[in-house]
Amino acid sequence: MKARAFASVGLMAAIGLAAMAVGGLPASAASTVKTFADCSTCPDMIVIPHGAFMMGSPSSEMYRGAETQHRVTIPSFALGKHEVTFAQWDACVADGGCGGFRPDDHGWEGEISLSSG
């Protein structure tokens, strides 16, 4: 498994962009979503395209806070299509990736997702 470096973004931005990029697409556009896997045992990944938005309230908005409206740009990144299984994580660690961290699988080895624990 080859480790890929993806830009680090805030969790909320990642969740929001992923929802817009995957869940918010019309059916015709959903077929153009780019996916990949680094190896046969690697998780399926979805490419989230770069984007930008204006953060903050415009000065004309009533009851706005003190924040200044500014443009936020998010670089492209990849997000797992499904939960990562213990088997996939173990393959990553065996290949020298995933920071060498091995979560406690409570004896649930194999294709059970890490979030089940």
pLDDT 10s digit of each residue in the chain, 117 long?
Answer: 333 333 333 334 444 544 444 455 555 555 678 899 887 778 889 999 999 999 988 888 888 888 889 999 999 999 999 888 888 888 888 888 888 888 887 777 656 665 655
d(CA 99, CA 106) in angstroms, rounded, equals 20
Q: Is residue 50 in a domain?
A: no
Residue 30: helix, strand or coil by DSSP? Answer: helix
Q: Is residue 87 in a domain?
A: yes
Q: Is residue 47 in a domain?
A: no
pTM: 0.53
Q: Is residue 3 in a domain?
A: no
Q: How far is CA 17 from CA 50, 57, 69, 78, 105, in A?
A: 9, 20, 19, 11, 30
Q: Is residue 110 in a domain?
A: yes
Q: Is residue 111 in a domain?
A: yes
How many structural domains compose the chain? 1
Range of the domain at 104: 83-117
Q: Is residue 91 in a domain?
A: yes
